[in-house]
Amino acid sequence: MGALRILLVDDHPVVRAGLRAMLTEFDDFSVAAEAADGDAALRELARLRALGERVDVVLMDLQMGAGMDGVTATAAIRQLDAPPPVLILTTYDTQADILAAVEAGASGYMLKDAPPEQIRQAVLSAAAGRTALAPKVAALLMSRISSPETALTPREVQLLELLATGLTNRAIARQLFISEATVKTHLVHIYGKLGVDNRTSAIALAAQRRIIRTPGT
């Protein structure tokens, strides 16, 4: 088979250039196209398909300055017919990011501080239909299944994230299209699992344990 065709999605030109250089150093990869955000990625994918060009793997960042974020884009790509595997390549290894990506249908999760060889291997794995997880990420997922009683559910993590942005219960309820009562119920569960009794402590602890990413970091 020929070189694997990659779609690069990252809002930083520097990072795209780096990935391009890193992947095309050998002959087993070629960059089919680049995109600066999720919308552009979907457009590029449609364009390439219209031209009959193959895309074997999408390399996707999660944080995009503007436009559609990586999780939304990943979910959208997975809705397509015969979708290419999406390999997440991002800076953060928090539960919230990882869970959201996996839930959206990502077939791998790598960190940007990984050595080039590891990234290349991950791309190969993804293209072959296997999953590719950074060691840190794998460890985190393992620890979750081994101690499910203290683990937060995806929904709870999602609430925690909104909590950390400073929203009130009512605002969270509106944002998630649920009632304020439900928000309170979730919070009580979260407090119980984290061993705290108010929202600020919950955020502090969640940031410490890398469950959520605090704004700005």
Partner DNA sequence: TGGTCCGTCAACCTTTTGATTGATCCGCCC
Partner DNA sequence: GGGCGGATCAATCAAAAGGTTGACGGACCA
Q: Which is nearer to DNA, 200 or 208 (CB)?
A: 200
Residue 128 interacting partner from DNA, a second copy, none (CB closer than 5 to 8 Å by kind): none
Alpha-carbon separation of residue 41 from 46, 72, 92, 121, 197 (angstroms):
9, 11, 21, 23, 43
First to last CA, the chain: 42
The contacts of residue 90 (CB under 8 Å, 6+ apart) are: 61, 62, 63, 70, 97, 109, 110, 111, 112
Partner from DNA, a second copy, none contacting 176, C-beta within 5 to 8 A by type: DNA
Q: Which residues contact 65 (CB under 8 A, 6 or more apart)?
A: 11, 37
Instruction: State how far Cα 57 lies from the chain centre.
Output: 15
Which of DNA, a second copy, none does residue 113 bind (CB under 5 to 8 Å by kind)?
a second copy
Looking at 48, 151, 178, 196, which residue binds a second copy (CB under 8 A)? 196
Spatial separation of the C-alpha atoms in residues 1 and 13, rounded to whole Å: 29
CB of 20 to DNA, least distance (A): 38
| Residue 164 binds to a second copy (criterion: CB under 8 A) | yes
79 binds a second copy (CB under 8 A): no
Q: With binding defined as CB under 8 A, does residue 136 bind a second copy?
A: no
Give Cα separations from 22 to 13, 94, 132, 146 (angstroms): 14, 25, 18, 36
18 counts as binding a second copy under rule CB under 8 A: yes
Residues in touch with DNA (CB under 7 A)? 148, 153-156, 168-170, 173, 176, 178-179, 181-182, 184-188, 191, 197-200
Distance in Å, CB of 8 to a second copy, minimum? 11
* Type of residue found at 18: G
C-alpha dihedral (149, 98, 91, 212), degrees to nearest 10: -50
186, interface contact from a second copy, DNA, none, CB < 5-8 Å by kind: DNA
Which amino acid makes up residue 108? G
17 contacts a second copy (rule: CB under 8 A): yes
Does residue 12 touch a second copy according to CB under 8 A? yes
Query: How far apart are CB 10 and a second copy at their closest, in Å?
Result: 9
Applying CB under 8 A, which residues contact a second copy? 11-22, 65, 89, 91-92, 94, 112-116, 119, 163-168, 196, 198-205, 207-210, 214-217
